[in-house]
Structure 1
Amino acid sequence: MSFRSLLSVISFLSASMDAREITFPPVSRYPSQQIISQGYNEPDITQSKFAGLTTYANLPYVHCLAPEGQDVEAFDIAILGAPFDTGSRRISPGMGWSIYTGENVLLDWAKIVDCGDAPLTFLDNTVALKQLDRAHKIVSSRDAHSNERTTPRIITLGGDHTTTLSALRSTYQHWGAVSVIHFDSHLDTWDPKVLGKLERPHSHVSGVNHGTFLHIAHEEGLIRNTSMHAGIRAPMVRPKGDLRNDVRCGFAMVKARDIDRYGVSGITERLRSRVSGTKVYISVDIDVLDPAFAPATGTSEVGGWSTRELLSILDGLEGLDVVGADVVEVAPVYDNPGETTVLAAAEVVLSLIGLIVKTPS
Structure 2
Amino acid sequence: MIAFIFNSLVLSGSLAVVAAHAGHDHLHHSNDAIGQIPLSGPNEMPVIFNRPILEKDGYIPSFAGISTFAHLPYLQCWEEDANEDYDIAVIGAPYDIGVTFRTGARFGPSGIREGSKRIKGYNNELHVNPFKSWAKAVDCGDIPFEPFDSEQAMAQIESHAKYILSRPARPTHSKLNNGIPRLITLGGDHTILLPVLRAMREAHGRPISVIHFDSHLDTWAPEIYNVKAKGSKYNHGNPLYHASKEGLTTNGTSLHVGIRSSLYDKDDIARDEALGYRMIKANDIFTLGVDGISERIKEILGSPDDALVYLSIDIDVIDPSMAPATGTPETGGFLTREMRYILRSLYGYNIVGMDVVEVAPAYDTQAQLTTFLAADLIYETMSMMVKYGEQKH
TM more than 0.5: yes
**Equivalent residue for 2:382, pick from 339, 353, 357:** 353
Give the one of 309, 313, 319 matched to 2:348.
319
Q: Deviations over 1:258-302 (max 9, x none)?
A: 011111110001101111232111100000000011000000000
Q: Which amino acid in 2 is paired with 1:357?
A: V
Q: What amino acid is aligned across from residue 311 of structure 2 in structure 1? A: I
Q: Is the 8 A contact 2:162 2:203 kept in 1?
A: no
Aligned-pair CA distance for 1:89:
3.9
TM-score, scaled relative to structure 1: 0.82
Q: Is 1:135 the equivalent of 2:160?
A: yes
Offset at residue 194 of structure 1 (A): 2.4
**Is the CA contact 2:316–2:329 (under 8 Å) kept in the aligned structure 1?**
yes
Which string of whole-angstrom CA distances, capped at 9 and with x for unpartnered residues, describes residues 137-164 of structure 1? 1111112336223111101000000001
Bigger-Rg structure (1/2) = 2
Q: 2:318 — aligned with what?
A: 289
Q: Deviation of residue 52 (structure 1)?
A: 4.6
Give the Å deviation of 1:213: 0.7
Q: Deviations over 1:315-344 (max 9, x none)?
A: 000011211111100011111100000000
Q: Deviations over 1:203-260 (max 9, x none)?
A: 1231211111100001111001111100000000011x10111001111110001011
Q: Which moved more, 1:141-150 or 1:175-184?
A: 141-150
Once the two structures are superposed, residues 61-86 of structure 1 have per-residue CA deviations (whole angstroms, 9 ceiling, x without a partner) of 0111113xx13311000001000015
CA distance in 1, matches of 2:144, 2:325: 23
2:77 paired residue number: 64
CA distance in 1, matches of 2:147, 2:61: 31
Instruction: Indicate which of 173, 177, 180 corresponds to 2:207.
Output: 177
1:328 aligns with 2:354: no
**Percent identity of paired positions between Structure 1 and Structure 2:** 42
My pick for the range that moved more, 49-58 or 75-84, is 49-58
Report matched runs for 1:10-21 at 5 Å: none
Report the residue type matching 2:313 in the other structure.
Answer: V
3-state SS, counterpart of residue 197 of structure 2: helix
SS of the equivalent of 1:162 reads helix
1:90 to 2:90 alignment: no
Counterpart of 2:226 (choices 196, 207, 223) is 196
Give the counterpart letter for 2:131 in structure 1: L
In the alignment, which residue of structure 2 is the partner of 1:155? 184
> For residues 136 and 258 of structure 1, what CA distance do their matches in structure 2 show?
35
Q: Distance in 2 between matches of 1:85 and 1:75?
A: 28
Q: Distance in 2 between matches of 1:322 and 1:261?
A: 28
Q: Residues 76 and 146 of structure 1 are in contact (CA less than 8 Å); yes or no, is this contact kept in structure 2?
A: no
Q: Give unpaired runs (5+ residues) of structure 2.
A: 1-15, 24-55, 98-111
C-alpha distance in structure 2 between counterparts of 1:100 and 1:318, whole Å: 11
2:355 alignment partner, SS class: strand
Q: Does 1:337 align with 2:366?
A: yes
Q: Secondary structure at the match of 2:190?
A: coil
Alignment partners' CA distance in 1, 2:171 and 2:286: 42
Relative contact order, higher structure (CA 8 A, sep 6+): 2
1:166 CA drift (Å)? 1.1
Secondary structure, in 3 states, of the residue corresponding to 1:185?
A: coil
Q: Which residue of 1 aligns with 2:263?
A: 236
Q: Which residue of 2 aligns with 1:269?
A: 295
Which has the larger helix fraction? 2
Unmatched segments (≥5 aa) in structure 1: 7-41
Q: 1:106 aligns with which of 131, 151, 154?
A: 131
SS at match of 2:382: helix
TM-score for the superposition, normalised by structure 2: 0.76
Do the aligned partners of residues 194 and 142 (structure 1) sit closer, same or farther apart at CA in structure 2, a change above 3 Å counting? same
Q: Is the 8 A contact 2:146 2:153 kept in 1?
A: yes
Determine the C-alpha separation between the residues in 2 that align with 1:237 and 1:218. 20
Q: Distance in 1 between matches of 2:223 and 2:126?
A: 47
Give the structure 2 partner of residue 308 of structure 1: 337
